[in-house]
Amino acid sequence: MSETQEHLAESAHAAESLGGKERSMPEKNKNLRAGGFSRWAFVIVAVLIVLCLHVPSNQKVAVAAAPAAAAGTPKVVVETVESGPASPPLEFIGHIEAIQSVDLRAEVVGRIDTVHFEEGAMVKVGDLLFTIRQPPYRARMNAAKASLAKAKADLMRAEKLLSRLTSADPRSVVQTDLDTAESAVLQGRAIVQQARAELELAEIDLEYTEIRAPISGKIGKALFTKGNYVGPATGTLAQLVQMNPVRVVYSMSDREYLQQLKSTLRNQSAQVELGLKLPDGTAYSGRGVRDFVNNSMDTGTGTIALWDKYINPDGILVPGTYVTAIITGRQTATAALIPQEAVLSDDQGYFTYTVNKENIVDKRRLELGGTIGDRFSVQAGLEPGENVVVKGIQRIGHAGQQVHAVVVSSTKKE
């Protein structure tokens, strides 16, 4: 007999005792008997309430667990595995740089007479950009020409003297005079060469008073304008950068570079397509070509720098802009693509739950490749067309469990 039943028996026995006493009471005590019975009835009700509150907790748990046991088969949401490219495109953050960039500087001293360009304009090779005051340099050039002419005249006189001495009777010529004439000719020739060099330097200085574009490209701001005194120590007058073509430089990890290099060595015909994603998220229309790869790894970062060349006829690719370099392999191999939310991991690696036609759960170990959008490329462990659990994974207790699967498409999920 339980504790509750014992309490109820004792209460019933007390009630019977009270009833017996009531029947044995004299008639004169009927009024008192009615009042005493009411008080005892109140006590019995209170005892029953207390006993109900002391029902064992395990009985309550059993009652509460009953609805849960009746919940039935757990419901999960599954999605059909699709197929896609086996090698996802690689993306790297890089920046655009000009293949050629020139800081224009003055090579002679003087004041700027004229600035011949519009700031921000496109210029061609040989276009005149700055003119430094020329009269002093033109005068030096004329002086050098005069010095050269005098040196030539002195040389001519020395050569004529030497010619007369050598053609005369040797007995009438003093050897000392002959030696002096020969020395004068040699000195005259040296003076002519020196004067010619000084004239060349004067012509170069005069040429330097005109600063012309060494490359075709876009000219920036003129840092010095008309009237400013400039020279070699002044610094940059303006910057000129080449706009077409340009290069994109980015870094690739040693592991990624070796994988790409091995793939190329295995299949010489396996080429890649080089593309760009602009800062606004749009794709650049042109395709790039690999310009060159750096000759060593950066030991600090474990990466190697690569440069790709792009044609830039419209000037959309501005040097210094950060872009995303995209490398896409040209191959027809495909692989299973699985939603990222369906992939789990533990100490043994990656896995997912699949559901077959009989709604039986199976646990699959996966060998993952790269990511394509919001999906993983599966190299082993899964085939296209199978159903994987994407929602309700927490309701799965073990492999082999029966579930109620609701299939959704990849474009619209519950």
Indicate the domain borders of the chain.
Answer: 3-66, 75-85+333-408, 106-241, 246-329
Q: How far apart are CA 44 and CA 12, in angstroms?
A: 9
Q: How far apart are CA 15 and CA 12, in angstroms?
A: 5
Domain 106-241 in CATH 2.40.50.100? The answer is yes
Query: What are the residues facing 104 on neighbouring strands?
Result: 238
Query: How many CB atoms are located within 10 Å of the residue 308 CB?
Result: 21
CA of residue 288 relative to chain centroid, distance: 17
Q: What is the pLDDT of residue 44?
A: 59
Pairing state between β 272-277 and 322-329: antiparallel
Q: Which CATH architecture has domain 246-329?
A: Beta Barrel (2.40)
- At 127, which amino acid appears? D
Per-residue CA distances from 301 to 61, 262, 316 (Å)? 60, 21, 31
Contacts of residue 215, defined as CB under 8 A and 6 or more positions apart, other chains included, come to: 100, 102, 125, 240, 242
Average the pLDDT over 217-240 and give the result: 96
- At 240, which amino acid appears? L
In 3D space, the residue among 372, 374, 355 whose CA is nearest the CA of residue 363 turns out to be: 355
H/E segment holding residue 43: helix 30-53
Main-chain dihedrals φ then ψ at residue 409, nearest 5 degrees: -85, 165
* pLDDT higher than 90, residue 240: yes
Torsional sign, CA 229, 235, 239, 242 = positive
Q: What is the pLDDT of residue 319?
A: 95
**What DSSP designation does 385 have?**
T
Average per-residue pLDDT for the chain: 81
Q: In which band, very low, low, confident or very high, does the pLDDT at 5 lie, cut at 50, 70 and 90?
A: very low
Q: Which CATH architecture has domain 75-85+333-408?
A: Beta Barrel (2.40)
Rg of the chain's alpha carbons, rounded to an integer? 51
Average the pLDDT over 224-251 and give the result: 96
Q: What is the pLDDT of residue 2?
A: 46
* pLDDT higher than 50, residue 397: yes
Q: What is the pLDDT of residue 242?
A: 96
pTM of the entire structure? 0.58
Of 63-77, 255-269, 354-368, the range with the lowest mean pLDDT is: 63-77
Same CATH fold assignment for domains 75-85+333-408 and 106-241: no
